[in-house]
Amino acid sequence: MTESLSAPLTLFNSLTRSAEEFAPVNPGKAHVYTCGPTVYNFQHIGNMRAYIFADTLGRTLSWKGYNLSHIINITDVGHLTSDADAGDDKMEKAASETGKSAWDIAKFYTDAYWQDIERLNIRQPAKWSIATEHVEEMIAFAKSIADTHCYELDSGLYFDTSTVPDYGRLARAKTDDGEGRIDPVEGKRHQTDFAIWRKTPAGETRQMEWDSPWGKGAPGWHLECSVMSKMYLGETFDIHTGGIDHREIHHPNEIAQNQAHSCSADTGANIWMHNNFLVDRGGKMSKSAGEFLTLQVLVDAGVHPLAYRLMCLQAHYRSELEFTFENLLAALTRLKRMVMTVAQLRADAEPAAACTHPRLREMLDAFDVAISDDLNTPKALTHLDEILAQKKIDCSEKLAAIAEADAVLGLNLLTLERADLRLRPAKVEFTEDEVEHQLNLREEAKSNKNYPAADAIRNELADNGVEIMDGDPLRWEWRIDA
């Protein structure tokens, strides 16, 4: 962190529903756990909003000088098709529908998720903790609280939510009437009680099952996050993140387990942060609702993934964000302008080792104030715009300032090339080189005043879905007419 960046970091804590100054458990360190994906399908771009948010938090903590340990889990077992306790495991269901093994499905979709993480320039966490690699520890955790906080039914080991103080405080839901508490399980003492171990029904075999003191079966989804967060980050750590749906059931249940395990009212993480939904005209984007948008769909339409990242940063993480292609294309245009401005600076200079120019430092301080105010990325972006707009300041100083801001925003502004942003939609069958070649021929024809030949080239390109953009203010010679 540079000396002048000193705005106090405040973060909105869903537990208290208020912004709080960040005070780490261990001075100088930041321990963050992010609920990761359930890998039974591709992630939709709404899911990826959750990881862009967690990455922005992580980048901000690093930028402000904290030594960050970030864990993201991969849920490859235990997440049922609803938030209730009855129903199929999402992994097993996908396996029976496709004829592939649950393990193969998990591997395939984990790899696809990791590819999206890379394309969105989301930094690698200290560890990807994979649920099925921690089942032994989950059984040990469950054993440690079984006698004091759980009871056994035919279907599994259940957590008795009346045994911990203030159950559901995070959700602020009525105790017996939380959202999604459908499919009641016979014998549960309270509607809010939840399975921490699900027994394989007699006569059945699951692809993913383990021996336990409660019989063969699989861990409940909530158990994995309590176990892995404590294992890697400590009994009490700083920040736990997830999408806002987790505020209602998954995280209250994690908190209940944490309290049972520590025999205290300690919720495990001090700050619980939740990103709001990406919505489309049909409402919240969800995987279970059939058709959904993946990052690959955007790429196939010719939009660079970082334009989606910028689109997310243009909204505050706690606001709903409506996805439309118009919004996305507007973000792409904004990103193009930024990249072109930086390209011009780079043509003139190398970035200075550090930005010392007083005007730029003022702008970076304003950027710091915005980002430190519960990650106000829309505001921070306006300060970046201000830096980009400076005409009279030395190019290398400006580049250093942009690099500093981009360490938080993750838009790769110093390495992206203009051409990187012009992706070829999947349905278009020519190469960029062919278009460039045709454009050169057209220029030649024009300079020979052979306008019919120039027009013929333009028409032929148009027939192939390429629009020539004479006089475009962004100086793009052509674009794909997607």
Tell me whether residue 131 or residue 145 sits nearer to ligand AMP (CB atom). 131
With a CB cutoff of 8 Å and minimum separation 6, the contacts of 403 are 351, 413, 414
Strands of 244-382, DSSP E: 269-275, 278-280, 283-284, 321-322
Which one of 112, 195, 225, 273 is in contact with Zn ion (CB under 5 A)? 225
**Residue 121 interacting partner from ligand AMP, Zn ion, none (CB closer than 5 to 8 Å by kind):** none
Partner that binds at residue 38, options Zn ion, ligand AMP, none, CB closer than 5 to 8 Å by kind = ligand AMP
Closest separation between CB of residue 39 and ligand AMP, Å? 8
Cβ proximity to ligand AMP, 145 vs 269, nearer residue: 269
Closest among 408, 391, 221, 397 to 313, alpha carbons compared: 408
Distance, in Å, from the CA atom of 18 to the CA atom of 273, rounded to the nearest integer, reads: 11
277 interface partner picked from ligand AMP, Zn ion, none, CB below 5 to 8 A per type: ligand AMP
Give the interface segment with Zn ion, choosing from 33-41, 306-314, 391-399, 416-424 (CB under 5 A). Answer: 33-41
Tokens representing residue 432 in the block:
């960029």
Find the binding residues for ligand AMP in span 241-260 (CB under 6 A).
Answer: 242-243, 245-246
| Interface with ligand AMP, residue 285, by CB under 6 A | yes
Please pick, from the candidates 5, 24, 30, 46, the single residue that binds ligand AMP as defined by CB under 6 A: 46
Window of 32-40, 52-60, 338-346, 471-479 that interacts with Zn ion by CB under 5 A: 32-40
Q: Which position among 13, 14, 38, 69 is part of the footprint of ligand AMP (CB under 6 A)?
A: 38
Q: Which positions from 113 through 172 interact with Zn ion, judged by CB under 5 A?
A: none
Q: For residue 286, give every residue at least 6 positions away whose Cβ sits within 8 Å of its Cβ, in sequence order, or none.
A: 44, 46, 292
Q: Which residue is nearest to ligand AMP (CB)?
A: 243
329: which residues sit within 8 A by CB, 6+ positions away?
303, 307
223 binds Zn ion (CB under 5 A): no
Residue from 49, 198, 199, 222 in contact with ligand AMP (CB under 6 A): 49
- Other Cβ atoms within 10 Å of 475 Cβ, number: 10
110/161 with CB nearer ligand AMP: 110
Of 139 and 225, which has the nearer Cβ to Zn ion?
225
Answer with the entry of Zn ion, ligand AMP, none that 56 interacts with (C-beta below 5 to 8 A by kind). none
Reported as type and span, the H/E element at residue 424 is none
Give the nearer residue to ligand AMP in terms of CB position, either 40 or 158: 40
Residue among 30, 35, 157, 421 that touches ligand AMP (CB under 6 A): 35
Q: What are the phi and psi torsion angles at 129 (to 5°)?
A: -95, 125
Which candidate, 340, 351, 332, 350, places its Cα nearest to that of 403?
Answer: 351
In the complex, what is the shortest distance from the CB of residue 40 to Zn ion, in angstroms, rounded to a whole number? Answer: 15
β-bridge pairing 278-280 and 283-284? antiparallel
Residue 126 has φ and ψ, to the nearest 5°, of: -60, -35
As a whole number of angstroms, the distance between CA 79 and CA 287 comes to: 13
Binding site for Zn ion (CB under 5 A): 35, 225
Which parts of this chain interact with ligand AMP (CB under 6 A)?
Answer: 35, 37-38, 46-47, 49-50, 242-243, 245-246, 275, 277-278, 284-286
